[in-house]
Chain A
Amino acid sequence: MNDQVPLFRMEGISKRYGGVRALESADIEIYPGRVHAILGENGAGKSTLIKVMSGVVPPDEGRMLLDGQDVTFADPAAANAAGIVCIFQELSLIPELSVADNIVISNPPKRFGMIDRAAQRRIAEEALAGAGGDDIHPSTLIKDLPLSRRQIVEIAKALARKPRVLILDEATSALTASDVQTVFGVIKRLRSQGVALLYISHRMHEITELADDCTVFRNGRKIATYKAGSKTDDEVVEMMIGREYHHVFPPKPEPKASATAPVLEVRNLSWTPRLSNVSLTAQAGEVVGLGGLDGQGQRELLLALFGVLRGTSGEILIDGQPARINSPLAAKSDRIGMALIPEDRKTEGLMLPMSVRDNLSFAALNRFSRGGIIDGGAERSAIDDVIKLLAIKTDGTAVPAGSLSGGNQQKVVIAKWLMRKPRIILLNDPTRGIDVGTKQELYQLLRRLADEGAAIILYSTDYDELIGCCDKVLVMYDGAVTRTLTGAEITERALIGSALNIGGGGTGSETPAVA
């Protein structure tokens, strides 16, 4: 499909973890000066593929060729030395070291055997400029930078290694929209300089914009490689999930006027400087979306509602009655009945080494206990019910939660809160890094919960989700709600327009022009 010689080539690569086949005789060819996108659901084998490529794990079978020569990598350092550099989804920056230290970490410039700090500074500044992070001071400690800036540093770090093959694994997931454009610029420049790029993303429009070649993976196998633009989105999605792709979102009910006080009402909630005067209402049965660019205070709003933030001002009313929520313990009490599906399921949602059973009942233990003693029978039957309800795929309830797939882990996080039958459900980007199939199930579930009378607040970085799921979307900008969209107003155009805060914000219903 290409006249050029592939720079890097994998043949028949297989990798097993225990009894599970993560990758099965995968082939791929990567050419200089081209962006090669890898598509696939979670669990399709993408991460394993790049882990093998970048020397994090050794393959069980198959061979890798660089410039036509057989290569093996003992560790990431060896892959780096060969010019293969990966920007991992889980960041590889060291929090206590400075930006400059991190950029040169694998191969610091030396003088008389010591690290040459002046040279290091030069390299760092150059790399930062190349990655669009001129505003980042090289002496800043990584731990003092926000997530999106760290991602830029991560890219700068990769650039400083002068890669021949650059792998970007969900490299834009933590970025703000303007940073995404910067990164795209960097990618295009590298392509024109002859770097081979491997691009992994769940965001279709990014792939459409960048990719030259695409390869689809499913269940650890390569399904197809094709020239970008030669397939329609529907065809691609079909290859990814291996079945027909239709009706992603359940239908929304007609909005009905409610006579009772809203389940949740927030008045002028502030948490300087991240939240200012946020007001919102959520009726029973309503799915309220939080939109806007990433990092505009949506996460803080959810945490503030759940009693995690200290020093908030403003009022929260539950069923029209003022309520004081100063801890998750208070938030989950029966009077308030709130649940939060947190941002990071691995560190905030689950105790990965603990069993599925322990995780599921953890937030609801007081429901199955008397005087602090747990009633094992009641616990078991409630767990069985919820596993069935959410169709959680698990090999019994005694296996560690960490052994489940990402989508099933997220289901466990949601299920553990459903065991409390919450009336107010806060979700912080619940579908991030989850496969298409599970996403669909979650959309159905959200609507069903709303129909059963729950008030749902959904923050999502995916505009399609907000459009498909929500009855109402509050667009946030710089800690404040700049616009409220309801019903048919919720369009991608309106969401993006108000997210960029074009047209002076306000809550008017006319769609502002998008530049």
Chain B
Amino acid sequence: MKDFRFWLNGQRGTLVALVIFILMFAVYLSNHPAILNNGYTVQGVGNVVQTAANKGILLALIAIAQTFVVLTAGIDLSVGAIFILCNVVASFVVVTNLGAAWGIDLGPVLGPAVGIVIVLAVGALCGALNGAIVIFGRLQPIVTTIATSAVFFGIALFMRPQPGSTPEFAKALGKFMLGKFGGVIPASMVFLLVVVLLIWLPFRWSTLGRATYAVGSSESASYMSGVPVRRAKFLAYVLAGLFSGLGGLYLTFVTSSGQADQAAAGGYTLNSIAAVVLGGVSLFGGRGSAVGAIFGALAFLTIKDLLFVFNFDPLWQPLFQGVVLALAVAIGSARLFQVRNRLEVFG
């Protein structure tokens, strides 16, 4: 019983995000025109969920990326730029005839597979660059990633000065990744689940994963305790790059094209921070989980959907989103009013 209480205490942020998301999504679903008109049919619910899932997975992946770095008490303001860069790269390499230009056409199966590997490698490489500068160059994460995001975005702009796509883009793969299993379960959610099971959980319970939490909580104590501080931080940045790359890949599935969109890069970076905060990940490091960040991202996006079903003027939508975010963080800090020793607030 006592163990359960400790577990609950540890998962509180994640659970709160989960509950908020479920409540909001339930309200959204029950007021969705498709449901209001046709009732709760498998088809109808499936479609609504699929649409939401395909929008949600982009921010969810970026939020996971941000989680890794935030856990180390850092911040990665380049996730959006890596996301866009990988979108642009994917629009060139995730094609059914990869290598045709060099006379080694890899074909419609191997081609996209290799393309995906290239995209993810680019993402991981960007993350590795961030990590190398922060850890070995000993620069602050916030300024480092501001600067590198300009570099990443510049490269994306170089590759695609105009939005565009390749006719050979692996559209079938994209369609599959955005489709439904059994007519109900969205493939993107299955993908997210697979990611959590195959990457997040092993990470969480690996030595380096724990080291990531330790470093974020107290770097000096970690060093004193013989925790591999540098490796853990480096890994966090690489994983952040990798997941931003995954997000970029998924964006390419959605749009079938690549676009060096500065607004999107900035927007996803900012929203990733909002998502991790809503998901209960502490910006001071050492606390939170990618699962919480996923629900934080989904909840954040559902706000937008709610405005849609309640016929809000779209002009008011940014304001409403901002207010909700501001209120969410304000409520999250309300516990400080209970602090009786004023010194504790400086912790």
Footprint of B on A, CB under 8 Å? 56, 75-77, 80, 88, 90-98, 101-102, 105-108, 110, 113-115, 117, 137, 139-141, 157, 271, 300, 303, 308-311, 327, 348
Contacts and interface: CB of A to CB of B under 8 A. Distances in A.
A271 B216 CA distance: 33
B99 to A, nearest CB: 35
A80 B226 contact: yes
Interface of B: 2-3, 6-7, 9-10, 202, 205-207, 210, 213-214, 216-218, 220-228, 282, 285-287, 339-343
A56 B216 contact: no
Given A110-B207, A137-B2, A140-B6, A309 B340 contact: yes
Contacts of B9: 141
5 contacts: A93-B221, A96-B217, A309-B342, A310-B340, A327-B342
Contacts of B216: 96
B226 A96 contact: no
A181 B31 CA distance: 67
Q: Which of B10, B202, B217, B225 has the most CB of A within 10 A?
A: B225
Given A97-B214, A97-B217, A108-B207, A139 B340 contact: no
B317 to A, nearest CB: 36
A307 to B, nearest CB: 8
Nearest to B227: A105
Tell me whether chain B's interface is mostly helix, strand or loop, or mixed.
helix
Contacts of A98: 6
A304 to B, nearest CB: 9
A94 to B, nearest CB: 5
B213 A96 contact: yes
A94 B206 contact: no
Nearest to B205: A114
A101 B205 CA distance: 11
Nearest to B221: A92
B221 A308 contact: no
Given A105-B210, A115-B205, A76 B286 contact: no
Given A94-B217, A139-B3, A311 B226 contact: no
Contact of A75 (B210, B217, B226): B226
Nearest to A111: B205
A208 to B, nearest CB: 30
Contacts of B217: 94-97
Nearest to A77: B226
Given A75-B226, A76-B226, A92-B224, A310 B342 contact: yes
Contacts of B202: 113-114
Nearest to B224: A92
Contacts of B7: 139
Closest 10 CB pairs of A and B: A77-B226, A96-B286, A92-B224, A96-B217, A139-B6, A106-B226, A114-B205, A94-B214, A92-B221, A94-B217
A56 B226 CA distance: 10
Contacts, number: 99
Contacts of A141: 9-10
Nearest to B222: A94
Contacts of B225: 76, 92-94, 102, 105-106, 157
B339 A310 contact: yes
Given A96-B217, A308-B341, A311-B340, A76 B223 contact: yes
Nearest to A104: B210
B210 A115 contact: yes
Contacts of A309: 340-342
A110 B220 CA distance: 25
A137 B207 contact: no
A310 B341 CA distance: 6
Given A106-B227, A114-B202, A139-B3, A95 B341 contact: no
A327 B218 CA distance: 30
Given A77-B226, A94-B221, A348 B343 contact: yes
A75 B210 CA distance: 19
B222 to A, nearest CB: 6
A303 B339 CA distance: 14
Contacts of A115: 205-207, 210
Contacts of B223: 75-76
Nearest to B2: A137
B340 A271 contact: yes
Contacts of A75: 223, 226
A271 B342 CA distance: 13
A139 B202 CA distance: 20
A137 B285 CA distance: 24
Contacts of B285: 96
Contacts of A300: 341
Given A91-B221, A115-B207, A308 B342 contact: yes
A101 B210 contact: yes
A317 B224 CA distance: 47
Contacts of B213: 94, 96-97
B224 A88 contact: yes
A17 B334 CA distance: 45
A92 B225 CA distance: 6
A327 B342 CA distance: 9
B199 to A, nearest CB: 13
Given A115-B205, A137-B2, A137-B6, A94 B342 contact: no
A97 B210 contact: yes
Contact of A76 (B3, B224, B339): B224
Contacts of A96: 213, 216-218, 282, 285-287
Nearest to B7: A139
Contact of A308 (B2, B205, B222, B343): B343
Given A94-B286, A106-B225, A308-B342, 10 more contacts: A77-B226, A93-B225, A95-B217, A97-B217, A105-B226, A106-B226, A303-B341, A303-B343, A311-B340, A348-B343
Contact of A105 (B6, B214, B220, B343): B214
B218 A94 contact: yes
A117 B10 CA distance: 15
Q: Which of B3, B9, B222, B224 has the most CB of A within 10 A?
A: B224
Nearest to B202: A114
Nearest to A143: B217
Contacts of B342: 308-310, 327
Contacts of A88: 224
Contacts of B210: 97, 101, 105, 108, 115
Contacts of A310: 339-342
B43 to A, nearest CB: 41
Contacts of A303: 341, 343
